[in-house]
Amino acid sequence: MRLVRFRERGAVRWGVLEGGTVRPVREFRYELPLEVEDRQLPQEAVQLVAPVDPPRNVFCMGLNYLAHVEESPARTVPQDPVWFTKATTSIVGPDEDVVVDPALTTQLDWEVELAVVLGRGGRRISADRALEHVFGYTVLNDLSARDLQFARGGQWFYGKSLDGLCPVGPVLVTADEIPDPQDLELWLRVNGQVRQHGFTRDMIFSVARAIEDLSRGITLLPGDVIATGTPAGMGFGQNPPVFLADGDVVEAEVSRIGVLRNRIVFTG
């Protein structure tokens, strides 16, 4: 099932995307089946928003692809998952402009990631049962202000949590349609040019291993988002570094999920 969130008459609702139409969900919950209305809305007639609700924790894995580690300043392969968070206020939806203040950053970078949305919470979840807690998968672009991220002793949270730096969407694909999250392909394009290409099988720590590690000491909740890291191809890893500019269109794509498209707008 492919789920979306959309605006209708001032309210935000969930719906099931079927072909080119959206069927509204009567009452959303993180379990299946969901009851849907009979009416159908043309997809082009609705405004999609980020398919996460409520916007709970956004947990992110750093340095989870070997080739990305090799292009990073540390170049040290982690022995355990590296965690940080993004502020929930940084979330924006598909086709939404990412508005950035150039007084805060001039080094905006991209990171395509597979994102996991939990349907069941828990603590001390074992890896062999971890995927049972997943409700679905979506695409996340971990936009990062590199000048802020690497300043002040290393401000990962601040440099990744400015308003708009967490595009998510366009859909949430339920876990039954993606039985193996380690069998997906990722791309990121800037103005149509491929900047990143990778496979989730190349993760250092799998989705199941990530859930196991995170839940050892943190109680996870339904609706929590886990971003699972990014393959190589960062702007800061190029020689010379390349960063996003005003008007750039960024497309983050994960196979079997879809394309998350956002335009970058620098404005003071």
Q: The domain 50-266: what is its CATH number?
A: 3.90.850.10
* Fold adopted by 1-48: SH3 type barrels. (2.30.30)
Q: What is the mean pLDDT of the chain?
A: 95
- Cα separation of 115 and 167, whole Å? 11
The answer, yes or no, to whether residue 53 has pLDDT greater than 90, is: no
- Mean pLDDT score, 149-178: 94
Confidence class of residue 74 from pLDDT cuts 50, 70 and 90?
A: low
pLDDT at 72: 72
User: What pLDDT, in 10s, does the model give residues 97-148?
Assistant: 999 999 999 999 999 999 999 999 999 999 999 999 999 999 999 999 999 9
Local structure of 182: helix, strand or coil: coil
Parts of the chain belonging to CATH 2.30.30: 1-48
Backbone angles phi, psi at 150, to 5 degrees: -100, 5
Give the ranges where the chain is alpha helix by DSSP (H): 66-71, 127-130, 146-149, 156-160, 207-214
Only one residue has tokens 């969130």, namely 5
Tell me the one-letter amino acid at 182: Q
Residue 222 has pLDDT above 80, yes or no: yes
The pLDDT of residue 178 is above 70: yes
Confidence class for position 70, pLDDT limits 50, 70, 90:
confident
What dihedral angle (degrees, nearest 10) is formed by the CA atoms of 189, 64, 93, 46? 80
The mean per-residue pLDDT over the stretch 237-253 comes to: 96
pLDDT in the model for residue 56: 85
Q: Which residue has the higher pLDDT, 53 or 252?
A: 252
As annotated, the residues of the chain forming the CATH 3.90.850.10 domain(s) are 50-266
Side chain identity, residue 210: A
